[in-house]
Amino acid sequence: MEQKIYERNLIRNKRLIIAARFLILFSFILIWEFASRFGIIDSFFFSSPTGVIESIHEVSLNGGILVHTGVTLYETMLSFVLTVLVSVLIAILLWIFSTAAKVFEPFLVALNSLPKSALAPLLIVWLGTGSKTIIIAGMSVAIFGSIINLYYGFKQSDEESAKLIYTLGGTKKDVLLKIILPGCVPVILSNMKVNIGLCLVGVIIGEFLAARRGLGYIIIYSTQVFKLDWLIMSILILCFIALILYFILQFMEKKLTQFFMS
C-alpha cells in the first residue's frame, strides 16, 4: 500500500518536472514572439520565433540548412569519436609507461590550458580549409583535457584490487583489462559527456574561420550580411544538436553500464 503511494508520487513528480520544462520553453517562445510583435524588442536585432521559422523555410527552399546542419553534426561526431578513441589509447599507454607519463605531464597541462581558438588559424595554414581542418580543430579543444582526466582516473584505481590480480597469478595486462578499464567506465562516460560539448565548440570555431559549409559558417555569414534571423536560427539549431547529442550519450551510458555490470 505504502509502496503504491510512493510509486504514484514518484511518477507524479516526474510528470511535474517534464511539464515544467515544456512550460518554460513555451512561455519563453510566446514572450519572445509577443515582445517582438508589440515592439518591446527590436525584431531586427532579436528576431522572433516566426522570423526563425520563416528563415528555416527560406533556407531550406534553396536546400541549404539541412546540408549545413548535417555537415556540422558529421564533423562533430567524427571529432568526438576520434577524441575518445585516441585519448583512451594514450591514457592507457601513459598508465603502462608511468615514467613517460611523468615526463609528458607538464606538456599536457600546458597544451590543455592553451586557448585552442589560437590554434585554429595555424591549423588552417597547415591543413587548408577542408573538413579535415575542422575535425582536427574540434579534437584539439577536447583531447588534452580528456587524456589528463582519463589518466588520473586510471591512476586512482584501487591498488588493492591490482594486488588481487597479482595474487591470482595475473599480469599488468590483466590489471588493465579486469580492473582499470571496467572500473573506469563511469570516468570514461563522464569524460565523453564533457568531450562532446567541447568538440562542438571546436568545430564551430573551425567553421567560423575556415569553412564554406556548416552552421559556424552560416553564423559568420549572417552577421556579415546582417541577417540576424538566420543567426538566431543557427544558434537554435545548435541548441537542438546539443540536446540530441546529450540523449545519444545518455543512451550509450545505459548500454555500456548494462554491458559491464552484467
**Binding positions for another protein, rule: CB under 8 A:** 158, 160-161, 163-170, 174, 178-179, 182-183, 185, 260-262
CB of 187 to another protein, least distance (A): 13
Which residue, 121 or 182, has its beta carbon nearer to another protein?
A: 182
CB of 171 to another protein, least distance (A): 8
Q: Which amino acid is at 184?
A: C
Identify the burial level of 111 via C-beta atoms within 10 angstroms of its C-beta, where 0-12 means exposed, 13-18 middle and 19 or more buried: middle
Residues in the chain: 262
Which residue, 45 or 260, has its beta carbon nearer to another protein?
A: 260
Which residue, 60 or 98, has its beta carbon nearer to another protein?
A: 98
Which residue, 113 or 262, has its beta carbon nearer to another protein?
A: 262
Which residue, 93 or 162, has its beta carbon nearer to another protein?
A: 162
In whole angstroms, what is the distance from residue 99 CA to residue 183 CA? 23
Q: Cell numbers for 56, please give them.
A: 528555416
Task: Give me Rg for the CA atoms of the chain.
Answer: 23
CB of 130 to another protein, least distance (A): 42
Q: Cell numbers for 135, please give them.
A: 575535425
How many angstroms from the chain centroid is the CA of residue 192? 8
CB of 176 to another protein, least distance (A): 12
CB of 179 to another protein, least distance (A): 7
Q: Report helix, strand or coil for 226.
A: coil
CB of 167 to another protein, least distance (A): 4
Q: Report helix, strand or coil for 115.
A: coil
CB of 17 to another protein, least distance (A): 29
DSSP 32-81: HHHHHHTTSS-HHHH--HHHHHHHHHHHHHTTHHHHHHHHHHHHHHHHHH
Angle at 13 between CA 7 and CA 15, to 5 degrees: 105
Which residue, 17 or 168, has its beta carbon nearer to another protein?
A: 168
In whole angstroms, what is the distance from residue 61 CA to residue 12 CA? 43
Residue 257: closest CA among 198, 199, 201, 184 = 184
Which residue, 82 or 164, has its beta carbon nearer to another protein?
A: 164
